Amino acid sequence: MLLTWNIQKCPRDILSSHTWPLQQCPRLWIYSVCHFPRVASQGRAMAAAPQGTPQGTPRPCPEQRRAAHIVQLLTLYRPLLDAFVIDFFTEDLWAQLPPAWQPALAGASPVQLAGLLGGGAGGAGAAWPLSLLAFAAAARALALPQRRARGPPRPPCQSCRLHPLLRRHVKPKKQHEIQLLGELLRRLSRATGCQRVVDVGAGQGHLSRFLAFGLGMEVTAVESDARLAGLAQRFDQELLRELGKARGSQPCPLTPRAPQHLAGRLDPAAPWGEFLLPPEPPGAGPAARNPLGGPGGSEDGGRVLLTGLHACGDLGPALLCHFARSPAVAAVALVGCCYMKLSTAPQQPPGYPLSASVAALPGHQLSYRAREAACHALEEFEGRLLGGSAHLRAHCYRATLESLIRAADPAKRHLGLQPGRKAHGLSFPQYAQLGLPLAGLDPAEFQLDSEAVGAMLEQQHKVVAFCTLGQLLAPAVETLILLDRLLYLREQGFHCALVPLFNPRFSPRNLVLVAARTPLATVLDRGGEDEDVEEAESPQEEQSRHNPQ
């Protein structure tokens, strides 16, 4: 319990004279923080048994109540949610903050901002207004809990849980993801009796390769980019050659059976029997046969598991819709990403909202900016605050550059400028020298060392504080999108759960939506496995192991 005192006894100067309707929010926030049911405990899956939707007004389930509270939170703070940080100076975003918040945020150190973000003490000397504390506590309470790794933080390194041949061409972050998702799919396979997996949006085939070679499953990998599908096949052939060389010399735990790769695009609007469209670019690969088959099931009448690792934009909702329509699909395991690419009403079918429950909530709409914020890496930003990272100045640089561009040409708004990955290591004049030409402007026409520019750069601490407030809301937005998907599946009568699977320090989109036509108890029970602490090899240990290259 975080805040228990009577909000009505708080000083009026804390609760009044706010730009946003904060007078309406304290009772809601205190209720949310103190009384909101804990749908999921830290590090565990939030499961939902299937429930029908009888006539009348059934009592809302915990997931529906959580979604409704999130919509209330986002509605009250929509100006903050929809604000673009690059407009910090052009739209005077600081002045739009509640007056009681401004001095506290302006005087806060990065470490204190990290404390506000993470729910800690906030660093020595931190004294936040009650309304700001309530806002932060409510945002944290309403977001789904993400699994946090025990022990000291460390960067991802070579995982010894993957065979060295399966690490080839795979970055450490992806190794972490495919190993954990692969193990979950194996449990799902045992629970459903399905040995066949269809991996949609397979990319270079890393997950498919682990499932096929490492776990012995029958895998069909579907990828819209025929060039990536071809590259995945090349990697498979490399692995098969290495297995051939090692045959007879020493035992190998890998199964010499490669995935089947198909080049095709998922059609979200088509009936489930018409699963694929031609690949992109057209003619770049052979015509793909539907791995889900026709009315009788998959190609040979059997059932399949459907999965997508970081399925981008509308691909995630399309997979869920095909699962709901297709009796050939026994279960689905989905990790979403790129929420800003989701289609919304009036586009049909919309990627958000999917469920009738969320669609019925007034104010459920999410702007492009809100959906983009849901893709942010909160743990990474918190780490930058704690370490005083130079990366933080990039936000102020971009906002200052936006002010210069808009002053020169008001029509040039929100241009997708990327002056460079290491822009934070430059002085602002150097940064502007790179950025202005990208906007079609001549840097020689600007006074990059003027007092006006200097005054903006001196407000970097305010820009960072404003970013922190947006980061506080981001997990709640992602939670709403994921709850919408879970509720959609439950409305269809499926067993479903949201599983915090990956280490969020490595993989910010770490919540896996699992759904099946049968109970998930055996899938969610990890059998005592400690997946919070992943064993890993140091570079020296990696070099000392057998090197197949």
More confident residue, 326 or 305: 305
Residues 337 and 229 sit within 8 Å (Cβ to Cβ): no
453 vs 205: CA distance, rounded Å: 48
Listed range (17-26, 116-125, 428-437, 468-477) with the worst mean pLDDT: 17-26
Q: How many residues in the chain?
A: 549
pLDDT tens digits, one per residue of 77-115: 999 999 999 999 999 999 999 999 999 999 999 999 999
Give the model's pLDDT for residue 13: 33
- Token reading at 411: 């029509």
Q: Sign of the C-alpha dihedral, residues 475, 477, 481, 486?
A: positive
Give the model's pLDDT for residue 478: 95
**Could you tell me the pLDDT band of residue 242, with boundaries at 50, 70 and 90?**
confident
DSSP 322-366: HHHH-TTEEEEEEEEE-GGG--BTTSSS-SB--SHHHHTSTT---
Quote the DSSP letter at residue 60. P
**Could you tell me the pLDDT band of residue 43, with boundaries at 50, 70 and 90?**
very low
435 vs 416: CA distance, rounded Å: 10
Give the model's pLDDT for residue 263: 83
Mean pLDDT in residue range 38-57: 50
Give the model's pLDDT for residue 541: 39
341 vs 372: CA distance, rounded Å: 8
466 vs 484: CA distance, rounded Å: 28
Phi, psi of 152 (to 5 degrees): -70, 145
Determine the residue type at 4. Answer: T
Rg (Cα) of the chain, in Å, rounded? 25
CA torsion angle for 165, 169, 172, 173 (degrees, to 10)? -120
Residues 402 and 416 sit within 8 Å (Cβ to Cβ): no
| Bridge partners of residue 308, in order along the sequence | 334
Determine the residue type at 405. Answer: I
Mean pLDDT in residue range 266-292: 57
Mean pLDDT in residue range 220-241: 88
Dmax (CA) of the chain = 80
Listed range (16-30, 126-140, 501-515) with the worst mean pLDDT: 16-30
Tell me the pTM.
0.83
Peptide bond into 253 cis (omega under 30): no
Peptide bond into 58 cis (omega under 30): no
Name the nearest CA neighbour of 111 among 508, 392, 376.
392
271 vs 295: CA distance, rounded Å: 10
Mean pLDDT in residue range 43-51: 54
**Could you tell me the pLDDT band of residue 425, with boundaries at 50, 70 and 90?**
confident
Residues 159 and 535 sit within 8 Å (Cβ to Cβ): yes
More confident residue, 542 or 511: 511
Name the nearest CA neighbour of 355 among 317, 322, 315.
317
- Token reading at 296: 């009788």
Give the model's pLDDT for residue 521: 86
Is the pLDDT confidence value at 246 over 50? yes
Q: What distances in angstroms separate CA 135 from CA 26, 53, 365, one per listed residue? A: 8, 33, 20
pLDDT tens digits, one per residue of 474-519: 999 999 999 999 999 999 999 999 999 888 877 888 899 999 999 9
Contacts of 100 (CB under 8 A, 6+ apart): 13, 14, 17, 18, 129, 131, 132
Is the pLDDT confidence value at 437 over 80? yes
Q: What distances in angstroms separate CA 323 from CA 216, 493, 496, one per listed residue? A: 23, 12, 12
pLDDT tens digits, one per residue of 48-61: 555 554 455 678 89
More confident residue, 117 or 45: 117
- Token reading at 192: 């459903």
64 vs 53: CA distance, rounded Å: 13
307 vs 42: CA distance, rounded Å: 25
Residues 398 and 457 sit within 8 Å (Cβ to Cβ): no
pLDDT tens digits, one per residue of 161-203: 777 777 788 888 888 898 999 999 999 999 999 989 999 999 9
Phi, psi of 317 (to 5 degrees): -60, -35
Is the pLDDT confidence value at 322 over 60? yes
Q: Number of helices (H) and strands (E), helices first, in the chain?
A: 21, 10
Contacts of 419 (CB under 8 A, 6+ apart): 401, 431, 434, 435, 438
